[in-house]
Amino acid sequence: SQTIHQWPATLVQPVGSPLSLECTVEGTSNPNLYWYRQAAGRGLQLLFYSVGIGQISSEVPQNLSASRPQDRQFILSSKKLLLSDSGFYLCAWSPTENYGYTFGSGTRLTVV
């Protein structure tokens, strides 16, 4: 069966520090991968999605980036965090774009 791992679970970072969140999927190949952000009490905002290695589509501001160095690995990064980057970051995968997502357990990021 397929599983998705996301870490760390919680993170407190100072403004201006770098960020690296990692997500891996097991038990499938060539998954579609997604990063979403959820502000407190709000909906889900699409940040990035990827349909293959090295293929990244971006929906967000310039201080965040994503990479897919391996088929089942998706990384969210920032060189300098802003206060507004605080939120609940969710990685997700689906076998194709016409199927529902399975979400990772999420990373709660607080920028101080």
Partner 1 sequence: GENVEQHPSTLSVQEGDSAVIKCTYSDSASNYFPWYKQELGKRPQLIIDIRSNVGEKKDQRIAVTLNKTAKHFSLHITETQPEDSAVYFCAARDTGRRALTFGSGTRLQVQP
Binding letters toward partner 1, positions 58-77, x by CB under 8 A: -x------------------
Nearer to partner 1, 18 or 59 (CB): 59
Of 11, 64, 61, 54, the closest CA to residue 33 belongs to 54
HSE value, Cβ hemisphere, 13 Å, CA-based, for 51: 4
Residue 3 in tokens: 């599983």
Q: State yes or no: residue 57 binds partner 1 (CB under 8 A).
A: yes
Q: State yes or no: residue 106 binds partner 1 (CB under 8 A).
A: yes
Binding letters toward partner 1, positions 8-47, x by CB under 8 A: ------------------------x-x-x-----xxx-x-
Examine residue 8 and say whether the peptide bond preceding it is cis (omega within 30 degrees of 0): yes
Residues at the interface with partner 1 (CB under 8 A): 32, 34, 36, 42-44, 46, 49, 51, 57, 59, 90, 97-106
